[in-house]
Chains A and B, each alone.
Chain A
Amino acid sequence: MHDARELVGYGLDPPRVQWPGDARIAVSVVVNFEEGAEQTPLYGDPAVDSMRERFAVAPGYRDLRTESFFEYGSRAGFWRLLDVLDELDVQASFFISGHAVEENPRAAAEITARGHEPCGHGYRWAPLYVLPVDEERRQLLLAVEAIRKATGQRPLGWNSRGQSLQTRRLLIEEGGFVYDSDSYSEDLPYFVAADGVKWLTLPYSFETNDMKFFRPPGHGTPEDFLAQLVAAFDCLYEEGRTHPKMMSIGLHMRYSGSPAGASAVRDFIRYARAFPNVWFARRIDIARWWLDHYAYLPAMRS
Chain B
Amino acid sequence: MVWPEGARLAVSIAIDFEEGAERNLLEGDPSSEAGDPESVSEGAVGELDVRSLQAESIWEYGPRAGAWRLLRILEAHQVPATFFCAGQALERNPPLADHIVRQGHEVAGRGYRLRPYYPLSEAEERADIARAVAIIREMTGKAPVGWRSRAPSERTRRLLIEAGSFTYDSDFAGDDLPVREEGLSRSFVKIPYTVETSDAGYWAMAGTPGFTRPSDFGDVLVRTFDRLYAESLTGPRFMSVGLRLRISGRPSRAGQLVRFVRHARGASRVWFARRDAIADWWLDQTPASAG
- Residues on A lying within 8 angstroms of B by beta carbon are 2-3, 5-12, 14, 51, 127-130, 160-165, 167, 182-187, 203, 206-208, 211-212, 215-221, 223-224, 227-229, 231-236, 239, 245, 247, 302
* B42 at the binding interface (Cβ < 8 Å): yes
Q: Given the complex of chains A and B, what is the CA–CA distance between A229 and B215 in angstroms?
A: 12
* Contact assessment for B212 and A231 in the assembled complex, using a CB-CB cutoff below 8 Å: no
Residues on B with beta carbons closer than 8 Å to the beta carbon of A235: 69, 251-252, 254-255
Residues on A with beta carbons closer than 8 Å to the beta carbon of B93: 7-8, 11
Residues on A with beta carbons closer than 8 Å to the beta carbon of B99: 12
For this complex, 29 residue pairs linking A to B, each with C-beta atoms less than 8 Å apart, are: A3-B26, A5-B60, A6-B64, A7-B60, A9-B64, A9-B65, A10-B65, A11-B68, A129-B52, A129-B53, A162-B43, A162-B52, A165-B53, A184-B57, A184-B58, A185-B61, A208-B252, A212-B37, A216-B37, A216-B207, A216-B208, A216-B209, A220-B209, A220-B212, A231-B253, A235-B252, A239-B251, A245-B251, A247-B251
CB of B248 to closest CB in A, whole Å: 11
* Contact assessment for A130 and B50 in the assembled complex, using a CB-CB cutoff below 8 Å: yes
Looking at the complex, which one of A11, A203, A211 makes contact with B95 (CB distance below 8 Å)?
A11
Looking at the complex, which one of A7, A187, A217, A220 makes contact with B37 (CB distance below 8 Å)?
A217
* B51 at the binding interface (Cβ < 8 Å): yes
Question: Across the two chains, which residue of chain B brings its CB closest to A218?
Answer: B212
Q: Given the complex of chains A and B, what is the CA–CA distance between A2 and B41 in angstroms?
A: 21
What is the number of residues of chain B that contact chain A, defined by CB distance less than 8 Å? 54
Residues on B with beta carbons closer than 8 Å to the beta carbon of A130: 50
Q: Given the complex of chains A and B, what is the CA–CA distance between A31 and B250 in angstroms?
A: 21
Question: Across the two chains, which residue of chain A brings its CB closest to B58?
Answer: A184
Residues on A with beta carbons closer than 8 Å to the beta carbon of B37: 212, 215-218
New A-B contacts (13) at CB < 8 Å, excluding given A129-B43, A162-B45, A185-B61: A2-B53, A7-B92, A8-B95, A12-B68, A51-B42, A160-B54, A182-B57, A206-B58, A212-B37, A217-B201, A218-B210, A221-B212, A235-B252
Q: Given the complex of chains A and B, what is the CA–CA distance between A137 and B95 in angstroms?
A: 39
Given known A185-B61, A224-B213, contact A217–B203 (CB-CB < 8 A): yes
Those of B60-77 within 8 Å (CB) of chain A: 60-61, 63-65, 68-69
* Contact assessment for B60 and A217 in the assembled complex, using a CB-CB cutoff below 8 Å: no
Residues on B with beta carbons closer than 8 Å to the beta carbon of A8: 63-64, 92-93, 95-96
Residues on A with beta carbons closer than 8 Å to the beta carbon of B38: 184, 206-207
Given known A8-B92, A185-B60, A232-B251, contact A217–B42 (CB-CB < 8 A): no
7 closest cross-chain pairs (CB), A and B: A217-B210, A162-B43, A9-B64, A232-B252, A185-B60, A235-B251, A231-B252
Residues on B with beta carbons closer than 8 Å to the beta carbon of A203: 57
* Contact assessment for B64 and A11 in the assembled complex, using a CB-CB cutoff below 8 Å: yes
Looking at the complex, which one of A128, A165, A187, A223 makes contact with B51 (CB distance below 8 Å)?
A165
* Contact assessment for A186 and B65 in the assembled complex, using a CB-CB cutoff below 8 Å: yes
Residues on A with beta carbons closer than 8 Å to the beta carbon of B255: 231, 234-235
Q: Given the complex of chains A and B, what is the CA–CA distance between A52 and B250 in angstroms?
A: 26
Given known A9-B60, A161-B42, A185-B65, contact A217–B252 (CB-CB < 8 A): no
Question: Across the two chains, which residue of chain A brings its CB closest to B96?
Answer: A11
User: Is the contact region of chain A dominated by helix, strand, or loop, or is it mixed?
Assistant: loop
Residues on A with beta carbons closer than 8 Å to the beta carbon of B42: 51, 161-162, 206, 211
Looking at the complex, which one of B51, B69, B215, B253 makes contact with A2 (CB distance below 8 Å)?
B51
* B171 at the binding interface (Cβ < 8 Å): no
Those of B173-218 within 8 Å (CB) of chain A: 201-203, 205-215
- Residues on B lying within 8 angstroms of A by beta carbon are 19-20, 24, 26, 37-45, 50-54, 56-58, 60-61, 63-65, 68-69, 89, 92-93, 95-96, 99, 201-203, 205-215, 250-255
Residues on B with beta carbons closer than 8 Å to the beta carbon of A219: 212-213
* Contact assessment for A217 and B253 in the assembled complex, using a CB-CB cutoff below 8 Å: no
Q: Given the complex of chains A and B, what is the CA–CA distance between A126 and B276 in angstroms?
A: 48
Given known A161-B43, A217-B203, A219-B212, contact A5–B251 (CB-CB < 8 A): no
Question: Across the two chains, which residue of chain A brings its CB closest to B43?
Answer: A162
Residues on B with beta carbons closer than 8 Å to the beta carbon of A162: 42-45, 52, 54
* Contact assessment for A184 and B54 in the assembled complex, using a CB-CB cutoff below 8 Å: yes
* Contact assessment for A206 and B63 in the assembled complex, using a CB-CB cutoff below 8 Å: no
Most buried by A among B50, B95, B251: B251
Residues on B with beta carbons closer than 8 Å to the beta carbon of A3: 26
CB of A246 to closest CB in B, whole Å: 11
Q: Given the complex of chains A and B, what is the CA–CA distance between A212 and B36 in angstroms?
A: 13
CB of A182 to closest CB in B, whole Å: 7
CB of B82 to closest CB in A, whole Å: 21
Q: Given the complex of chains A and B, what is the CA–CA distance between A109 and B233 in angstroms?
A: 68
Looking at the complex, which one of B19, B54, B65, B214 makes contact with A228 (CB distance below 8 Å)?
B214
Q: Given the complex of chains A and B, what is the CA–CA distance between A8 and B92 in angstroms?
A: 7
Question: Across the two chains, which residue of chain B brings its CB closest to A3?
Answer: B26
Residues on A with beta carbons closer than 8 Å to the beta carbon of B45: 127, 129, 162
Residues on A with beta carbons closer than 8 Å to the beta carbon of B65: 9-10, 14, 185-187
Residues on A with beta carbons closer than 8 Å to the beta carbon of B252: 207-208, 228-229, 231-232, 235
* Contact assessment for A6 and B54 in the assembled complex, using a CB-CB cutoff below 8 Å: no
Q: Given the complex of chains A and B, what is the CA–CA distance between A203 and B57 in angstroms?
A: 9
Q: Given the complex of chains A and B, what is the CA–CA distance between A239 and B65 in angstroms?
A: 12
Q: Given the complex of chains A and B, what is the CA–CA distance between A212 and B42 in angstroms?
A: 10
Most buried by B among A9, A163, A203, A216: A216
